[in-house]
Structure 1
Amino acid sequence: MKRKIITLFFSLLFLTASAQNVTITGRSNKTNTLMRLFAYEDLVNETGILLDQSQTDAQGHFILEGNVKQILPGRIYVGLEYVDLILSPNASYDIEILVPEQQESVSYFEKELPTLRVKRATDKNIYRQVIYSEEIINAYMTEHFNQIYRGRQLRYIDSIQNAISREVPNITSDYVKNHNRYKIAAIKLGISTDGGKKIIKDYYDGQPVLYTQSAYIDLFKELFDGYFNSAAYDSHLLNDAFGEGPISLKKYLATDPLMAKNPQLAELITIFNLQKLCYGDRSTSHLAKGHLAYIGSRTNYEEHKAIISDFFTKYERLAPGTAATDFTLKDRDGKAVSLSDFKDGLVLLQFVDGMSPVAERQFSELRDLHNQWQDSVQILTIAAHDKLDILKKQFTEKRMDWPLLDLGDQILLLEAYNVRTFPEYILIKRNNKIGEAPAPSPERYLGERVTKMFGK
């Protein structure tokens, strides 16, 4: 018994010591801010796995730790801003992240992006070699754009490869080699005249499937998007096979030699295109989801099970009829207000981040709709904490009497509702079920949509 206890003790010690094999220490200019570390095994759906979260201290310092079994693309979030990193097993990183202060007038699509500086890394130079290679490729593309894409001069591609060999010597990692290989392939695709056939033959036919290599997956998506509509298939026969079921579809898709010779790649191509069909009309979507479920239950590839599972999670998130994320926030008087307080009625969530000409116009339209709806639709405006005083003044001056809520530090609520721009709108049906996310803005038929959806 004593021997078993000792053995168990040392086993637990070993597990504890080996549980976290990636350590990131660093500093950001954002103090007392939520930090999160994600790793990406599913690049098809761009679904990250949360490895760790912490908070910057009063000086902006932080520590993030996690465990990865292979080299993976990583992402570090500072609040809702992020930078990308490549995570290697048994590596440590000392980094600095600068998040620029954004001007009020700058839109979401024009804002300045955060920057990452890796001061030290024990990852066998993998991150440095990838970044240096990218810089060389981008510099050549900028300087010789016309010669490469308009003149279709392949000699410049050879020059890129020679420059990488000269400036980034001693590349031994397959991850870095494959990154550069598929980045070069993407350039070749841009100047190809055969629709990518040679690129497929040279880089995908008979090649391993590199699920965690972003350059491979990016090119994969470009090459195989809409592959069901390619010249390899007769549209009528394909539609018949699609309607008959997964077995018939797989059999027909295998009439293409590429799909027949590469079963793993073929299944990934099938999954990728079926996912796209899920966003088609109701009948097509229903059939596509059935095909995906069938593949997910019978595939021999664990990666494909995960990709299909991730897709359904993403597809069903914020879908009409799914549960809306509940929250409790304080209004402008400090009173707690929850979404569940209004479960018996209809709710419009409005997310705002300060005032702008667009926001002012939408508030004016929304005030008219509020007067029209009376108590039939409850409006909840959720404001970024640092803009709350501005919004309070606006609400008072414009006599807007619906609740104004302080987002506070609950920034993950923006992710829960997939808020990407401001203002953003979400319609919530009775029993706190999603009605439409995102919903149209007030000047773009929001009133008509509410009338159609809720009969109000």
Structure 2
Amino acid sequence: MKSQTGILLLLIISFYSFGSDVILKGKAKGYTTDKIPVYTVKDYITGEKLLLAEISFKPDGTFQTVIKTDKIILIYFDLYVFKGSMFIEPGKTYDIELPDKTLPTDQDKFNPFFEPINQEIFINDTNSKELNYVIGTFDVTFNRFILSNSTIAAENYIRQVDTVAVIFNNYFSFCKHPYFQTYKKYKLGYLRQMVHKLTTENAIRSYFTFNPVRFDNPAYMELFNSVFQDFFIAFAKTVNNAEIISVVEKERSYMAMKKFILSRNLIFKNDTLADLVILKGIHDGFYNFSTEVGMFKNRIPSNQLLMMLDSFCLQTDIAEFKAIALNIKEKVTCLMPGFKAPDFVLPDQKKQDISLKNYRGKYVYLLFAATWKYGCKQEFEQLSQISKQFGDSLQILVIAADEKHEDITAFLNGKNYKIPFLYAGKDKSVLEKYGVTAYPTCFVIDKEGKFFISPANAPSEYFDKQFIKKFGPPDERESPIFDDLFDRDKQ
């Protein structure tokens, strides 16, 4: 696992560290003491974030930061209630304007479904042929058409869509930028897919078989992800292709899968496309929870998908695809029991830095919470009892997602909690690493720093019983304390 993480790091460095400088500069209101993360996605199959830079501001609000890239990429800005986005090209300088700082309301904080508002970043001194301007104009017109035709899939709109495609192509014929041409082609392809309800085979022939693979273009990948969703299961349902599940479960080999796909359907005669389709199939296989009867009743076992993924990493000769394969493995295993838990260094209530590594040799009960949530406050009341119950056998850590460190200290004032409360920080990266989307969220980390129970029950959900039961029969437990607890639990 450690060596694979190192390989992934080297691949990411090679893609983003040795390119040309892209300079982002400008001025913004209200962010003086903040650091704004700028990120892209590692790939468009996993959708996982890759931090590129952090924007720091001078007292007058001006800023300048440098990003290295050897290709055009779509970048994002975390701006509290806004999510900014823009495309950047290698070697260019962008004078940009960020929206004024606006913090989420209390209602936003309490809303588990709150999503930041998408906001295109305004670029000064641009022109009508600049990539962001052209794509922005295209998107506004495209989205307006979609919204104004809410019944777009109805029969009478099919001809209209074809007419609109001609109009779009004519209107934007002035822009010969290859990246935009691909973007436009696959956005219109996505629209046709929605309206015409193309069969998978027709869609593949029309947009993929005879076209270059553009895995770094968001419009290409939007249509790709739609057409090839749950590929292994969908392909198995077609005539004479049911054996594909057997290839996954028995062969567990990337080359065996590729040979099977290429031999069964000429639409996959593009080797590079076949590789990307296999990666998509493996990724979606981890998240397919089909409830259908028969051979599709249960999803493909994760361990067999992992074996095929390892086979892909070893045998592919395309560096970018190896990086995607490693991204998939990192995503699907990052919270699995037996895999290493992400480390962190966070300040406690006394502003002393605490690392997960500090507790190697102990079991650690992590509780992600927010001190302003009533439900979390109720859980805190039970932590002292759990701490007393397990003693030195279990270290409890609360990671608080409050906006300010002062909010945590104010909450703890006058309370006699002897448990460390750590401050997650404004960037919330530790929350993302642990996949935290609701509070409380809990995990148990073992003595070697690996996930032991993931996720774990909250204190009020009989965590103590869950923890005791995890150790199995008395002769398999590592501490006599569990014998006493187990016996007490049976009474």
- Band of TM-score, shorter chain: 0.7 to 0.9
Match of 1:100 among 82, 99, 102: 102
Query: Secondary structure at the residue paired with 2:74?
Result: strand
Residues 130, 322 of structure 1: alpha-carbon distance in 2 compared, 3 angstrom cutoff: same
Confirm whether residue 56 of structure 1 aligns to residue 71 of structure 2.
Answer: no
Amino acid of the structure 2 residue aligned with 1:417: Y
2-side partners of 1:112 and 1:38: how far apart? 15
Aligned 1:406-445 pairs, distance under 5 A:
406-408=423-425, 411-443=428-460
Deviation of 1:23 after TM superposition, in Å, equals 1.0
Query: CA offset at residue 179 of structure 1?
Result: 1.4
2:91 corresponds to: 90
Residues 366, 444 of structure 2: 8 Å contact kept: yes
Rounded Cα–Cα distance in structure 1 between residues aligned with 2:466 and 2:139: 46
Change (3 A) 1:326 1:213: closer
Taking a change above 3 Å as real, the CA distance of residues 366 and 19 of structure 1, as seen in their structure-2 partners, is same
Q: 1:79 to 1:415 in 2, by over 3 A?
A: farther
Matched, 1:314 2:331: yes
Deviation of 1:387 after TM superposition, in Å, equals: 4.2
Query: Does the Cα contact within 8 Å between 1:86 and 1:127 map onto a contact in 2?
Result: yes
For 1:155-166, list aligned pairs within 5 A. Answer: 155-158=159-162, 160-161=164-165, 164=168
In 2 relative to 1, CA 392–374 (structure 1 residues): closer, same or farther, beyond 3 Å? farther
Partner SS, residue 341 of structure 2 = coil
CA distance in 2: counterparts of 1:385 and 1:57, whole angstroms: 25
What whole-Å deviation, never above 9, does each CA across 1:79-115 have from its counterpart, x for those lacking one?
8974222111222212222353111232242244363
1:222 maps to 226
Q: Please give the residue correspondences for 1:58-207 in structure 2 after superposition, counting only pairs within 5 Å.
A: 58-77=59-78, 82-98=83-99, 99-106=101-108, 107-113=111-117, 115-120=119-124, 124-146=129-151, 148-151=152-155, 153-158=157-162, 160-161=164-165, 164=168, 170-207=174-211
Matched, 1:347 2:361: no
The match for 1:244 is: 251
Task: Find the counterpart in structure 2 of residue 43 from structure 1.
Answer: 44
1:10 matched residue in structure 2: none
Task: Report the counterpart of residue 30 of structure 1 in structure 2.
Answer: 31
- Normalising by structure 1, we get a TM-score of 0.82
Partner of 1:295: 312
Relative to structure 2, which stretch is displaced further, 345-354 or 44-53?
A: 44-53
**Counterpart of 2:489?**
none
Please give the per-residue CA displacement for 1:287-335, whole angstroms capped at 9, x wherever unaligned. 3233233333333433322221322333343432333344444433455
Kindly indicate whether residue 376 of structure 2 is the aligned counterpart of residue 359 of structure 1: yes
Alignment correspondent of 1:15 = none
1:256 to 264, 276, 279: 264
CA drift at 1:272:
1.4
CA–CA separation in structure 2 for the residues paired with 1:353 and 1:45: 28
Higher mean C-alpha deviation, range 59-68 or range 267-276: 59-68
Distance 1:149 1:23, change over 3 A: same
Once residues 174 and 336 of structure 1 are traced to their aligned partners in structure 2, the CA distance between those partners, rounded to angstroms, is 49
Answer yes or no: is the 8 Å Cα contact 1:31–1:60 preserved in 2. Answer: yes
Partner of 1:266: 274
- Where does the alignment leave 5 or more consecutive residues of structure 2 unmatched? 1-17, 289-297, 473-481, 483-491
1:431 is paired with a residue whose SS is coil
Amino acid at match of 1:89: P
Amino acid of the structure 2 residue aligned with 1:201: R
Deviation of residue 376 (structure 1)? 4.1
Contact 1:20 1:65 in 2 (8 A): no
Cα–Cα, structure 1 residues 382 and 295, in superposed 2: closer, same or farther, change >3 Å? closer
Q: Which runs of 5+ in 1 are unaligned?
A: 1-17
Q: Tell me, yes or no, if structure 1 residue 276 matches structure 2 residue 277.
A: no
Q: What is the CA–CA distance in structure 2 between the aligned matches of 1:214 and 1:353, rounded to whole Å?
A: 35
Partner AA of 1:136 in structure 2: T
Summarize the alignment of residues 372-391 of structure 1 with structure 2, pairs less than 5 Å apart: 373=390, 376-384=393-401, 386-391=403-408
Aligned pair in 2 of structure 1 residues 438, 26: CA closer, same or farther (>3 Å)?
Answer: farther
Q: TM-score, normalised by structure 2?
A: 0.77
What letter matches 1:43 in structure 2?
Answer: Y
Provide the rounded CA distance (Å) in 1 between the counterparts of 2:449 and 2:258. 41
- Mapped to 1, the partners of 2:464 and 2:82 lie a distance apart of 33
Partner Cα separation in structure 2 for residue 239 and residue 445 of structure 1: 39
What do the CA deviations read for 1:324-383 (whole angstroms, capped 9, x no partner)?
Answer: 344444433455544334323222222334413443444456566556555543322223
Q: Percent identity?
A: 22
Deviation at 1:180, TM superposition (A): 2.0
| C-alpha separation in 2, matches of 1:260 and 1:271 | 14
